[in-house]
Structure 1
């Protein structure tokens, strides 16, 4: 399924419409609408305007509409990266502590000798 098709599907679900509902509103067959959602059929400008109007959006808003799946993936990737960063920061702090301890040992051995 292409990105635009996913956006259209998401908008349809958000409005509580079936594929049949939208197909009737667009005056096309259900299989034709299904092909739009799945990306099998490319959408011409006229159809794009019709779909945008159906959802009370401009064409730009429709094309740039952020779907939840993309946002969730981005958030998930960001959380994973932050977790790894925190783990690396902890490792660095532990290594810094070891360096300080070794320096102190070295300094103590020089004082005693």
Structure 2
């Protein structure tokens, strides 16, 4: 059950929810939900269905959810964002160079005047 708890915790983090948020949605206490995530409490089928519904999946999807698939998805997203960030950094450097060139040109015209 510990792997199920890890899957639930990962799904919760992906939604940006706190344990309190999920506990309220499941109508249970925060400690009770914490015990589900840590694997201390075994989850019965009705609670499992409730958790799966909360994360917009069915029980089979919840039980077979593989975080490596999610990691691959996020790795691809991370690579895309890294490329965009590098492009922006290049753009910023180019703009900084233009500012320096304009400053030097302005300084040069003041010296000549």
Output the CA distance in 1 between the equivalents of 2:21 and 2:66: 23
Aligned to 1:14: 14
Query: Could you give the per-residue CA deviations for residues 17-38 of structure 1, whole angstroms, max 9, x where no partner exists?
Result: 0000000000000000000000
Q: In the alignment, which residue of structure 2 is the partner of 1:57?
A: 57
Matched, 1:37 2:37: yes
- Find the counterpart in structure 2 of residue 92 from structure 1: none
Structure 1 gaps of 5+ residues are 73-113
CA distance in 1, matches of 2:28, 2:44: 14
| TM-score (normalised: structure 2) | 0.59
Counterpart Cα distance in 2 of 1:2 and 1:45: 16
Q: Render the CA deviation track for 1:33-61: whole Å, top value 9, x for unaligned.
A: 00000000000000000000000000000
TM-score by length of 1: 0.59
Gap runs ≥5 in structure 2: 73-113
CA RMSD of aligned residues (A): 1.9
* Aligned twin of 2:99: none
Q: Which runs of 4+ in 1 moved over 3 A?
A: none
Show the counterpart of 1:95. none
**Is the radius of gyration larger for structure 1 or structure 2?**
1
Partner of 1:2: 2
SS in 2 for 1:10: helix
